[in-house]
Amino acid sequence: MNTSDFEKCARKIAEALQLSAGEAVLLKLDTRTFTPLIPPLQNVIRASGAHISGVILAEDVTTSSNEELVSLRRLFNEADVFIWLPEVQQGSRPALAQSLNEWLDAGRGRAVHFHWQSGSYAIGFTEMPSQDFIDRLYLAALDISARDLEARHRQAISFLRSGFVRVTTPEGTDIAFQIGDRPFCSQVGDASRERMKTASTRIDRDIELPAGVLRVAPIETSTNGSIVLPVWQPIMTKGRNLTLRFVDGHVAIQGVNADKIDEELTAAGGDARMFREFALGFNPALRVLPEAPFIGYYGYGAGVVRLSLGDNEEMGGANRGGGVYWNFLHNATVTAGERILVKDGNLLL
């Protein structure tokens, strides 16, 4: 990436936030990566009349203290906006995660996640393309219109509420669930104060760039069927030729290393074994390309399906604790009632 690319990224962050004069911006950054983004981001924040009120440095640690929690709460209480920039290891230590969630849940601010380097995943055993190739796709994905995404999301929501949702793949996935009246999170890249007036869940205030995904926590106990995965690595243990069988939302796992994955979920506790989320990608710039297949930015590409396990409090679900465990389907067919939304990985809306 060159200077103009980083300047574009900074502009897109500012455009998403629609910063106002006097607003206080809190940054989280990693000095080891993406540092050319900092100067142009500072410039666009200043140009809007806003200012940077604090900086939180990324740390590869999983411990924190009560004193740190008090300090971070003070930083967030004085902030209107939080911008989370790319890190070598994307994540938050406990005190930071708690203070950020408290701030979002209180409805006091809004956040942009700009993780960039951490959202790309291989499909099965295929090799990942170069980072330069991924960067080009991500830069194009920043240009997708929020208005266009919003229109497609509204259409999809009406279909998905119409009856049972079924997801199938050629490998054998066949799972169904019901949305009911659960709230949808429509990630269209709009982090403005005006948009926040309609926020109903925590992740409605946590805006991702690039944008494009539609997320929901289905009624967990309505979930029945199987997800078949050639390879899956929840956090630590890589499994192969796995079948995740769901009965009333509870999962049992079969396949290579299934016992170790089961131990991992047991150690996590909480609702680690419960169905968590259905997410459908809409960004055409991030769709899976035959010539270089991979999952772009956490499954935000058009036609990509994300089905996951674990805690879903952030999106209005009933699961608590146990962490979050994603898996991605690049070639799924999704039906809602009698309507086909996705066919073999191709978004039909």
The reported pLDDT for the residue numbered 305 is 98
Question: Which helix (H) or strand (E) element contains residue 130?
Answer: none
pLDDT one-digit tens code per residue, 62-78: 888 999 999 999 999 99
The reported pLDDT for the residue numbered 133 is 96
Cα separation, 102 vs 243, whole angstroms: 37
pLDDT one-digit tens code per residue, 129-139: 999 999 999 99
**Which of left, alpha, beta for 299 (phi over 0: left; psi -120 to 50: alpha)?**
left
CB 216 within 8 A of CB 277: yes
Structure tokens belonging to residue 153: 């999301």
Cα separation, 277 vs 274, whole angstroms: 10
Residue partners of 33: CB distance under 8 A and separation at least 6: 86, 87, 88, 117
The reported pLDDT for the residue numbered 202 is 95
The reported pLDDT for the residue numbered 62 is 87
The reported pLDDT for the residue numbered 32 is 94
pLDDT one-digit tens code per residue, 303-322: 999 999 999 999 999 999 99
Structure tokens belonging to residue 68: 């740190």
Cα separation, 147 vs 168, whole angstroms: 30
Structure tokens belonging to residue 69: 């929690």
The reported pLDDT for the residue numbered 214 is 98
CB 167 within 8 A of CB 332: yes
> CB count, 10 Å around CB of 4?
10
pLDDT one-digit tens code per residue, 94-129: 999 999 999 999 998 999 999 998 899 999 889 999
Q: What is the dihedral of CA 14, 17, 18, 20, to 10 degrees?
A: -100
CA angle 332, 334, 337 (to 5 degrees): 160
Cis peptide before 234 (omega within 30 of 0): no
Structure tokens belonging to residue 212: 């494009």
Question: What Å distances lie between residue 67 and 57, 62, 102, 210, CA to CA?
Answer: 16, 15, 16, 34
Question: What Å distances lie between residue 207 and 67, 148, 226, 244, CA to CA?
Answer: 28, 17, 31, 30
Q: Is the pLDDT score of 58 beyond 90?
A: yes
The reported pLDDT for the residue numbered 236 is 86
Cα separation, 34 vs 173, whole angstroms: 38
Q: Is the pLDDT score of 61 beyond 90?
A: no
Pick the CATH number of 3-118 from 3.40.50.460, 3.30.200.100, 3.40.50.150, 3.40.1830.10: 3.40.1830.10
- 13-31 mean pLDDT: 97
pLDDT one-digit tens code per residue, 185-226: 999 999 999 999 999 999 999 999 999 999 999 999 999 999
Given the structure tokens 């146990």, which residue do they identify? 322
pLDDT one-digit tens code per residue, 223-280: 999 999 999 988 889 999 999 999 999 999 999 999 999 999 999 999 999 999 999 9
Q: Is the pLDDT score of 60 beyond 90?
A: no
Beta strand extents in the chain (DSSP E only): 24-29, 51-57, 81-84, 110-113, 165-168, 174-177, 184-186, 206-208, 213-216, 224-232, 239-247, 250-256, 275-281, 305-310, 324-329, 333-336, 339-343, 346-347
Alpha carbon of residue 327 to chain centroid: 12
Given the structure tokens 């960039």, which residue do they identify? 116
Cα separation, 293 vs 118, whole angstroms: 17
Q: Is the pLDDT score of 29 beyond 90?
A: yes
**Residue spans per domain, the chain:** 3-118, 146-347
CB 208 within 8 A of CB 113: yes
Q: Is the pLDDT score of 142 beyond 90?
A: yes
Cα separation, 104 vs 314, whole angstroms: 10
CB 310 within 8 A of CB 276: yes
